[in-house]
A and B are shown apart, each in its own frame.
Chain A
Amino acid sequence: MTDKPDWRPSANIANNKMKNEVLHQIRQYFEFHNVLEVDTPILGRSTITDVHLDAMSTVHTNPLSTQKTQMYLQTSPEYFMKRLLCSGYPSIFQIAKCFRDDEVGTHHNPEFTMLEWYRLDFAMEELIHDVESILRLTLGVDGIEALSYQEAFSKYLSIDVFGVSLLELMEFCEQQGFEHYVNSVKQIGDDDSRKDMLLQLLFSERIEAKIGNILPTVITHFPASQASLAKLNMADSRVAQRFEVYYRGMELANGFEELGCERDLRTRFERDNIQRSCLGKATRDLDEKFLQAHSYGLPACSGVALGIDRLLMIKSGASDIGEVQTFSYERV
């Protein structure tokens, strides 16, 4: 029996056309709103410190030097786009190929297409309206629902995310049948990262299926410990100006009202690195060019990243991300 490799594409032509139409609609939308399209490098000398996101790396050989340079494929165009904003660019958008290590599944391909945009002088709520407009335009939805992270846990699991202790949370997870996961989490990280890991598990396994089934659901105000690069809320510092959009079982977009303070960013990156080492992961060198740009100054803005492949999966009814990419991971 011969086992010949399958050379054919994983997406059909109809899905390719659908992708072109969607990208065309998006470009028209941003042109109308005076948002400038940009194109930033995919290959960079630095990468993110995110605890649970890892970049793929490669080595560049310089013909005029014996030195080989370690370089990273970008996990999102965020850092380069923010450097543009710091330098004086207006509101910008980009449709970029991004790469993430250690991610393969029906909703994940190591290489994927991201729509990322930044709006100057937009607060989080205004940017959420922008996301809604894009979803109305591309998917024909009739609107969106919004729920805070705290409300979602209280509504679906009767858990107060800010009142609950790590111990109570572990007990709850054990009752829900996650005793093995709880034991595994006990052996790594610090208390803060453990609490976040359990909250993230409960969100994925016990809440996600209940939201975003009719209208896309926006979850707002993530706990400060999961702020990533979002500003903390002025009125309630327990929460961050971060939101995520869920629709039909898919995590579609992640947005922030952007943190601009160089010192706070550095503190967060350093905290990431501490957590990375707690989890037995390599720490990352901080992106000093990115930090330097912020010491010069990031204008007040909000930004969001939206997965184009997932948007197309919803629009076409595909169950695997490969159906909307010409060649999926197995076929490249």
Chain B
Amino acid sequence: MANFSTNEFKAGLKIMLDGEPCNILENEYVKPGKGQAFNRVKIRKLISNKVLEKTFRSGESVEGADVLDIELSYLYSDGEFWHFMNNETFEQIAADEKALGDSIKWLVENDLCTITLWNGTPISVTPPNFVELEIAETDPGLKGDTAGTGGKPATLTTGAVVRVPLFVQTGEVIKVDTRSGEYASRAQK
């Protein structure tokens, strides 16, 4: 993998730091009067997902990370691995529970997910921004209830718990924003 100097640093560049692939979020150049310049760099570690600020010496080079985002559709889970397929080549890739993290609860068969590969191995899975899932269980609400009452918790078929309006019932399919984990609407029939 190529090396990148601090003057090539920009948002989105993937580099290796402490043995972990990282995504650069921000890069700020600081030059003390007659002193060595440095860069304040905000990064996200792609495995632990931690965001931190690191100081680099201006002009130093770091190893790039072989990180690639691909879109694959979710097929099924065998309990140990979650299997995804490239819809064009039909090539399949399996991700483990660690790579999935919280995304597990938003996986819907045939949905296109973004899989981040590091050296060819999945390290994270990002579900679509909106997914449609069926409500497995929720308390029966009162008919004619209007929005603004705070709603009630509903458990979806994947195990995710989402606050829904009182009028939504068990067995209905709802649309959820996976970024915030919030109810968006009833699914379009």
Which residues of A come within 8 Å of B, CB atoms?
A: 50-53, 102-105, 107-108, 177-178, 180-181, 184-185, 188, 196-197, 200-201, 203-205, 226, 228, 244, 251, 254
Contacts and interface: CB of A to CB of B under 8 A. Distances in A.
Nearest to B53: A177
A19 B36 CA distance: 30
B165 to A, nearest CB: 39
A201 B29 contact: no
29 contacts: A50-B34, A53-B34, A102-B7, A102-B37, A103-B37, A104-B29, A105-B28, A105-B29, A108-B31, A177-B53, A177-B55, A180-B17, A180-B54, A180-B55, A180-B56, A181-B55, A184-B56, A184-B57, A196-B35, A200-B35, A200-B36, A201-B55, A204-B30, A204-B32, A228-B34, A244-B33, A251-B32, A251-B33, A254-B34
B35 A52 contact: yes
Nearest to A307: B33
Contacts of B38: 181, 201, 204
A145 to B, nearest CB: 18
Contacts of B36: 51-52, 196-197, 200-201
A254 B30 CA distance: 17
B97 interface: no
A178 B55 contact: yes
A225 to B, nearest CB: 11
Interface in B20-65: 28-38, 53-58, 60
Contacts, number: 65
Nearest to A203: B32
A178 B33 CA distance: 20
Contacts of A105: 28-31
**4 closest pairs, A vs B, by CB?**
A200-B35, A181-B55, A184-B57, A197-B36
B37 A197 contact: no
B121 to A, nearest CB: 25
B35 A254 contact: no
Given A180-B55, A181-B55, A197-B57, A254 B33 contact: yes
A196 B57 CA distance: 13
A154 B37 CA distance: 23
A197 B31 CA distance: 11
A104 B56 CA distance: 16
Given A180-B54, A180-B55, A197 B33 contact: no
Contacts of A197: 35-36, 57
Contacts of B60: 184
Nearest to A189: B36
Indicate the member of B17, B32, B37, B60 with the most A CB atoms within 10 Å.
Answer: B32
A274 to B, nearest CB: 16
A200 B34 CA distance: 9
A213 B34 CA distance: 22
Given A103-B31, A105-B29, A108-B29, A52 B55 contact: no
Indicate the member of A204, A228, A251, A254 with the most B CB atoms within 10 Å.
Answer: A204
B32 A200 contact: yes
Indicate the member of A51, A52, A103, A251 with the most B CB atoms within 10 Å.
Answer: A52
Given A180-B54, A180-B56, A226 B34 contact: yes
B23 to A, nearest CB: 16
B68 to A, nearest CB: 25
Contacts of A196: 35-36
B45 to A, nearest CB: 13
Given A201-B32, A201-B38, 5 more contacts: A102-B7, A108-B29, A188-B57, A200-B35, A254-B34
A50 B35 CA distance: 9
Indicate the member of B17, B38, B57, B60 with the most A CB atoms within 10 Å.
Answer: B57
B57 A181 contact: yes
A177 B55 CA distance: 8
A157 B28 CA distance: 24
B3 to A, nearest CB: 13
Nearest to B17: A180
A251 B37 CA distance: 14
Interface in B68-112: none
A52 B33 CA distance: 9
Contact of A52 (B7, B28, B30, B37): B37
A139 B36 CA distance: 29
Nearest to A181: B55
A228 B60 CA distance: 24
